[in-house]
Amino acid sequence: MKYVALACLLVLGAPVLRSQGGSNYSALGLGDAHFQAGGLYTAMGGTSIAMPSHYGINVVNPALLGRSVTTRLQVGYRFNQHVVRNVDERIIAQNNGELDGLLAMFSVDTARGFGVSFGILPFTNMAYKVQRPLSAIAGSDTIAGRSAQDGSGGTSMLHLGASVRLLHNLHFGLQFNGLFGVLSYTDRVTADGPFNAVASSKSYDIRGLLLKGGFTWDPSPWLMVGGYVSAGGDGSVFTTRRVTGFSGSSILYDSTRIDEGSTGLPLLVGMGLSTPVGSGRLGADLEMQDFTSVTVNNRPDAGYTTGLRVSVGYTRPGPSTGSWWNQIGYHAGLSAQRLPVQFKGAPIYESVIAGGLSMPLGGNAMVDAGLQLGYRGVDAPGSDLDELLGRFTVTVSIGEIWFRPFGRE
């Protein structure tokens, strides 16, 4: 029923206040984390560790890069819709959009499973807007006001990966991910009456490097097993704090402070398996995301923890011949996860259903469209905030056969 309610709110939505923003939970930690890119994997609920594709660029398990048969250029866009509801049943719909990766992949030698990819894609995204009333008693007077909070930014990832076939049924991949980005938070407190206001802001400029290794193993024609580990040393953080006081339009004071520090980076581990089912493939992933060493944006009411994610996905690629309708591919998936952040000591859970299509554009060009509908909330008595969410990703990729197999003795 939650998914039906989300669909009604997205379509009808007349009584719902709308604004540019996103998930209020993205204000915690580094923001909403992205662990895959492309409409193909969005449509499978993020299932990707052991799900090979002849054209999709897999950034989760680098060992799958050599499974593609074409050299490709891929660009995508992701639209996020959130319907936020608090304990008073007040509802606000907020949305935002972002580039879902600009990637290139070179299928150098399909016989040896040698593939190379590089590009830029999002790692975390933060977008939220919150306004709440304030009041204070000064003598016999009550001073009313409001606090308007918003956040934007995130971290991006420069990606360079390669894969090779070590044995007949064993592929290995290595990936370097350079993290960079800025998280910006603003809180403007305004008091009624003489229009006094105080604006405080904080931003984190983050830099770091993650190294990822992955494998796939085909012990039989009906089973593929895959896995990956991603880790890194400490990253650098520049923290800028600014406080500005206003009286009407006049600035009373303006103070800025910049600190340099460091932070740990997340440890990511995943295992997956898949098997052919008819003309398609069914797979499942289990992933652990340990963010406990990250120190950016620690808050008294929230903190980092170890996230856990499980997903199941199915893909049926369209054949390369026949009518245009016959060449359409179909994908579906489910996922459930505990986010790697917690709020007021309680875990935050998210569940998603997904589906999508792959549509040919002629030649080796493809459009992938994936839709996710889900629910996010805190599993604790008296929790005062939950969200219905929708994510729509469209990816366009074009490909050519640049490298052809050559004779070997």
**Residue 224 pLDDT exceeds 50:** yes
The predicted-structure confidence for 358-379, as pLDDT tens digits, reads as follows 999 877 889 999 999 999 988 7
For residues 43 and 368, the answer to whether their CB atoms sit within 8 Å is yes
Helix (H, G, I), strand (E, B) or coil at 220: strand
Residue showing tokens 């290595």: 174
Strands 385-400 and 196-220 come out as unpaired
Residue 2's pLDDT is what?
A: 39
Q: How far apart are CA 159 and CA 179, in angstroms?
A: 9
In whole angstroms, give the CA distance from residue 362 to residue 365.
6
36 pLDDT band, cuts 50/70/90, is confident
Q: How would you class 65 by CB atoms within 10 Å of its CB: exposed for 0-12, middle for 13-18, buried for 19 or more?
A: buried
pLDDT tens readout for residues 40-57: 999 999 999 999 988 888
Question: What is the CA angle 154-158-164, rounded to 5?
Answer: 140
Q: CA 306, 258, 231 angle in degrees (round to 5)? A: 30
Q: Tell me, what's the pLDDT at 305?
A: 94
Residue 278 burial class via C-beta count within 10 angstroms: exposed 0-12, middle 13-18, buried 19 and up: exposed
User: Where does 162-236 have alpha helices with state H?
Assistant: none
Q: Which class for 356: exposed (0-12), middle (13-18), buried (19 or more C-beta within 10 A)? A: buried
The pLDDT tens digits for 65-119 are 888 878 889 999 999 998 887 756 677 888 888 889 899 998 888 778 888 999 9
- Asked if residues 207 and 235 have their Cβ atoms less than 8 Å apart, the reply is yes
CATH number for region 2-130+151-180+211-232+265-400:
2.40.160.60
The two structure tokens encoding residue 281: 């493939």
Task: Report DSSP letters for 287-298, one per residue.
Answer: EEEE-TT--TT-
Model pTM score: 0.85
β-pairing verdict for 91-109 and 17-20: parallel
- Alpha helices of 44-135 — where are they, by DSSP H? none
**Residue where the block lists tokens 């105080």:** 198
Structure tokens at 232: 């890194």
- pLDDT band with cut points at 50, 70 and 90 for residue 260: very high
In the chain, the N- to C-terminal Cα span, in Å, equals 62
Q: Does residue 321 have a pLDDT over 90?
A: no
Q: What percent of the chain has pLDDT over 70?
A: 88
Structure confidence at residue 179 as a pLDDT band (50, 70, 90): very high
Q: What is the token pair recorded at 80?
A: 């996020």
Task: List C-alpha distances in Å: 115 to 118, 207, 228, 365.
Answer: 11, 27, 17, 19
Alpha carbons 212 and 172: distance in angstroms, whole number: 11
Predicted confidence at residue 67, as pLDDT, reads 84
DSSP secondary structure code for residue 27 in this structure = G
Give me the chain's average pLDDT, please: 85
Contact 26, 32 (CB under 8 A): yes
Q: 322 pLDDT exceeds 80?
A: no
Query: What is the token pair recorded at 176?
Result: 């370097």
More confident position, 384 or 329: 329
Q: How confident is the model at residue 312 (pLDDT cuts 50, 70, 90)?
A: very high
More confident residue, 407 or 186: 186
